[in-house]
Chain A
Amino acid sequence: MFGLDKKDTTLLLVVTLLALLAPFILNPFPEASALAQFNAGYPDLMQRFVIYGIFAVGFNLLFGLTGYLSFGHAAFLGVGSYSAVWIFKLLGMNVLPAIAFSIVISGLFALLIGYISLRRSGIYFSILTLAFAQMSFNMAYSVLTPITNGETGLQLTLSDPRILGQQATADGSIPVTNLLPGLEMRQSVQLELGGWLFTFNTGYYLAAFFLLLAFYIAIRIFRSPFGLMLRAVKSNQQRLNYTGIHTRPYTLAAFVISGMYAGLAGGLLASMDPLAGAERMQWTASGEVVIMTILGGAGTLIGPILGAGFIKYFENIFSKINENILHDWFSFLPQGLQDFVVTIVAPFFGEGWSLSMGLMFMAIVIFLPGGLVEGGQRIGQLFRRKPAAGDAASSQTTPAE
């Protein structure tokens, strides 16, 4: 289907189902129960799952395929957000032109930065992208204040022209972003089933649509001759050069595509909540997408989406857990022991979420370089190996021939 082989079609269908049914899947606990705090099925968080999923899928197209580790990818996300907000200010509140514009602008920006940075590889490339991103971040805070509104961040005002839309709504407030006239991004339909409450949000489904599109394109790139060439760059660029292939156009194309993915994510972020700040471009934000991709599994198709979902879920849920909740959890222990355990565990929850994330990230890099996907495969093999030990050995030798 769609020019994919059977395995990829299944993968795409699984992702489609997951994305469409996310409001159900992410809300497994009844609203009134104590476990409701682990529900992630509210629009804001679901939107972030898919948006950062797009971001990570795009980053993986560069890092996973070519091995070029960019430490400045958040700059493209930030540029995307700024461009989208400018469209909201100048043209009108429809999100489609804004998203298109943010993809184009980020692509151009990536072309410029990639053209220069890709002259070097390895750690020099990482530092060049880092330098460019920090430069953009510093400039967004200082010189470019007329465009970026400095520390306050770019926001909509009542005096914006919005030539294709209305300047203000009938009651004099700033209009909200919409997909079609009358279909607002923040609009949600709620469904109550027994004790469960499911929310279907316009913005989420728009973002999910883009995620599926982005994922589909990523599969096609992975399976294309172009993708093969990018993998060749990763495994041995020198040999490619010796065979007379100029690799830079390929890496540059990958860089620009991945920049456009980041722009799309930025545009979507701005569509959900029309403001853009420079902190989205800071290098810690770039580090976050690196972590997501590695955690999920760099170079795999589904890994980045898993990683993004994982990080965003735990960021939201873990950071909500405070000491009282921990005391509840360990209430089966005797009082003294309970206090002791809570004291030990508390630094890793709530505000200490970053600590847990850092430790987890280190553990993944050390023990499981393939990320969650590799972990899943290893577990799968554990169950499969015993009956088919001979088969596994014989199938391993096939690729060598």
Chain B
Amino acid sequence: MDAIILQTLNGLDKGSAYALIALGLTLIFGTLGVVNFAHGALFMIGAFCAVTVQRILTLSVITLDPNKTDFLGNPAKIKTPYVEKFFGPEIGAGIIDWSVPLAILFAIPVMIAIGFLMERVLIRHFYHRPHADQILVTFGLAIVLQEVVKYFYGANPVPTPAPAAFAGAIDFGVLIGFDPNQIVYPYWRLIYFLFSIVVIGGVFSFLRFTTFGMVVRAGMADRETVGLLGININKRFTIMFGIAAAVAGLAGVMYAPINSPNFHMGMDFLVLSFVVVVVGGMGSLPGAVLAGFMLGILESYASLNEIKAIIPGIDQIIIYLVAIIILLTRPRGLLGRKGVMEE
């Protein structure tokens, strides 16, 4: 029992990442009808926003300390981050410590700008081309973005720690009546899960309760009619592209402390997120979220030792297996609308 609860919790944070990326993919597909293979790269850029903010905050002025010497006998160099100089050592260290949450503020405008740029410069020329062309050009873009990041940040993962306040783990089992130390769950993963819930809730309520969202939903249902009513639907869809990019970026920012960002993390997540979108149903937002969490949790159940004893290696392939079964038995996905990309 405790193992199952623990695996459910473990599945939640991966599921959150899948759900967030798949949500963005579905937003783009549902609004613009574009299959975006560069979405994983947006997730990766988000994670590197966290790295960038951390680097900016730790930019240091180098001073010589005459009292100490290094092993060559020269005066020791002391690095003092500018932030610590401006705000005093304690507040400065605190700001650096909180660089990942601060990166959210940095990432939102950056990601929206990148999304705008992508849509205006590249994607808009591909609305009337076949899906295969859209896949190919965004695949090329993903390679380019990945290589650019690799050029600036190197090929190795960049450790990006969470704030010290969240460094430990919560003894979750005690809260629900188990013995101590049986279900231990890192704080940051819990935060990640809550954060993703907030973002998902935000996107849904934005679409549900604002006039803008209403127009976008109407456009998703029937683009032409909305256009005939005199609404510039293309402009709204461009904004939605920016929002989808921001969602992927936020998923990346907060994921940085869980797994140190590296340049190919986007590709790794992209394949899985596509599977998630297809399982949830192309064009269905709730489907993407549901399938994201479901597959994340299924994946972590499959890595239980008891299950691996019955079917060895199942944890490696479970997601793909589920996707294949769903695609063959229910091609429109779990919550997909009838007739959307169903052939």
List residues of A whose CB falls within 8 A of some B CB. Answer: 67, 69, 116, 119-124, 126-128, 130-132, 134-135, 138-139, 141-144, 283-284, 287, 290-291, 294, 347, 352, 354-355, 357-359, 361-362, 365-366, 369
Contact = CB atoms under 8 A, between A and B. Distances in A.
A151 to B, nearest CB: 13
Interface in B132-189: 132-133, 135-137, 139-144, 146-148, 151
B77 interface: no
Interface in B300-319: 312-313, 316-317
B253 to A, nearest CB: 24
A130 B267 contact: no
B320 A355 contact: no
Interface string B300-343: 00000000000011001100110110011001000000000101
A369 B134 CA distance: 12
A287 B139 contact: yes
B213 to A, nearest CB: 26
Given A352-B147, A362-B141, 6 more contacts: A122-B131, A123-B341, A138-B316, A354-B146, A358-B142, A365-B133
B324 A132 contact: yes
Contacts of A347: 151
Contact of A128 (B144, B147, B324): B324
Contacts of A132: 320, 324
29 contacts: A116-B324, A120-B327, A120-B331, A120-B343, A122-B341, A124-B327, A126-B135, A128-B324, A128-B327, A130-B274, A131-B323, A132-B320, A135-B316, A135-B317, A135-B321, A138-B320, A141-B316, A142-B313, A143-B312, A283-B271, A287-B143, A291-B140, A355-B147, A355-B151, A358-B140, A358-B141, A358-B143, A359-B140, A362-B140
Contacts of A139: 313, 316-317
B288 interface: no
- Which has the most chain A C-beta neighbours within 10 Å: B140, B142, B341? B140
Contact of A123 (B135, B316, B317, B323): B135
B12 interface: no
A131 B324 contact: yes
A373 B26 CA distance: 35
Contact of B143 (A67, A141, A294, A354): A354
Contacts of A359: 140, 144
B145 to A, nearest CB: 8
B143 to A, nearest CB: 3
B313 A143 contact: yes
A131 B140 contact: no
A361 B140 contact: yes
Interface size range of chain B in the complex: 35 or more
B235 interface: no
B273 to A, nearest CB: 11
Nearest to B275: A131
A362 B146 CA distance: 14
B35 interface: yes
A123 B139 CA distance: 14
B278 interface: yes
- Which has the most chain A C-beta neighbours within 10 Å: B151, B275, B320? B320
Contacts of B132: 67, 69, 126
Contacts of B135: 69, 123, 126
Contacts of B128: none
A294 B132 CA distance: 11
Contacts of A69: 132, 135
A290 B319 CA distance: 24
A135 B302 CA distance: 14
Contacts of A122: 131, 341, 343
Interface in B94-138: 122, 125, 131-133, 135-137
Nearest to B277: A127
- Which has the most chain B C-beta neighbours within 10 Å: A67, A291, A294, A365? A365
A128 B324 CA distance: 6
Nearest to A121: B343
Nearest to B322: A131
A135 B136 contact: no
Contact of B328 (A116, A121, A127, A369): A116
Shortest 3 CB-CB contacts between residues of A and residues of B = A143-B313, A358-B143, A355-B147
A142 B302 CA distance: 14
A143 B137 contact: no
Given A130-B271, A283-B271, A355-B147, A138 B317 contact: yes
A346 to B, nearest CB: 10
Contacts of A291: 140
Contacts of B271: 130, 134, 283
- Which has the most chain B C-beta neighbours within 10 Å: A123, A134, A135, A290? A123
Contact of A143 (B141, B267, B316, B327): B316
Contact of B148 (A131, A144, A290, A355): A355
A362 B143 CA distance: 10
A282 B331 CA distance: 25
A343 to B, nearest CB: 12
Contact of B275 (A67, A119, A127, A290): A127
A326 to B, nearest CB: 15
Contact of B267 (A119, A126, A284, A355): A284
Interface string B248-277: 000000000000000000010001001100
A283 B270 CA distance: 11
B327 A127 contact: yes
Contacts of A144: 313
A347 B139 CA distance: 20
A291 B144 CA distance: 13
Contacts of A369: 133
A33 B321 CA distance: 56
A56 to B, nearest CB: 15
A90 to B, nearest CB: 24
A141 B312 CA distance: 12
A352 B125 CA distance: 27
